[in-house]
Amino acid sequence: MNPEDFVQELSKRNFKLSEPQIKQFNQYFTSLLLANKQVNLTRITAKDDVYLKHFFDSLTPLFTFGSVFEPDSTLCDVGAGAGFPSIPLKLLRPDLKVTIVDSLGKRLHFLQDLVDQLGLTDVKLVHGRAEDVGQNPTYREQFDLVTARAVANMAVLSEYCLPLVKLKGNLLALKGPKAASELTEAQKAITVLGGQMRQQEELRLPGSEEERTLILIRKVKPTPKKYPRQAGTPHRKPIH
């Protein structure tokens, strides 16, 4: 997917990119490649692949579950790495108030430079592990939307993310192909943490064989105080 195809595909979905937005995505690509020489941010570096597998992929929740992206929503992106999916979402929806949580300082340094280069406002970077941030009253149950892309399996991911989602807010998980079995195994964790499965959509990225699964979970009751557990515990002992 070259940049022209990207613009066209977004237009088909009623998102018409302005010239400044097109330039922002191009600047994002340039900055990503430059920083990737110093910090391991991505294995995907070909321009067409970055536009398809990073930029377009990050925007699929907006195309699929658009109704949950209410105006001026607060969004927390857990383990964003090089800024996916939150920065592409922010470029398309500048009204979103974004908080990015990552445990690696070098990645956050890249993201701070990127935010400055792209001229973005209402983007906050938080250095920490999701388990610690989820117990911090500043962030706990504060967000309308929490996103995570390729971070962990659903049981573990739910413990990282659901504590951050406010009541009646939503968790959006961007997963690879055939995530149904993962979701079945995570059912108990989702319920225990106050979530309720709303929707699961399987899709294929345009003009490719790349399959994806998007999972939407609604927060229906508060997360019990003991969750998330200490850093490392959700991964070692997932809720089953």
Q: Binding site annotation covers 69?
A: no
Q: Binding site annotation covers 140?
A: no
| C-alpha to C-alpha distance for 108 and 124, rounded to whole angstroms | 10
Q: Binding site annotation covers 84?
A: yes
The kind and range of the H/E element at 14 are none
| Long-range contacts from 125-129, C-beta under 8 angstroms, 24+ separation | 125/99, 125/100, 126/99, 126/100, 126/101, 126/102, 127/102, 127/103, 128/101, 128/103, 129/103, 129/231
The answer for residues whose C-beta is within 8 angstroms of residue 47's C-beta and 6 or more apart is 2, 3, 29
| C-alpha to C-alpha distance for 207 and 21, rounded to whole angstroms | 23
Q: Tokens representing 115? A: 């935010």
Count other C-beta atoms under 10 Å from residue 65's C-beta: 18
Q: Binding site annotation covers 194?
A: no
Nearest to 135 by CA among 44, 234, 225, 74: 225
Rg (CA), the chain: 17
Q: Angle at the Cα of 154 (from 88 to 39), degrees rounded to 5?
A: 45
CA distances to 64, 154, 209 from 214, in Å: 8, 12, 16
Q: Binding site annotation covers 79?
A: yes
Please report where in the chains the tokens 């971070």 appear, as a residue: 151
Which residue ranges are tagged as binding site?
79, 84, 130-131, 149
Which residue ranges are tagged as binding site for S-adenosyl-L-methionine?
79, 84, 130-131, 149
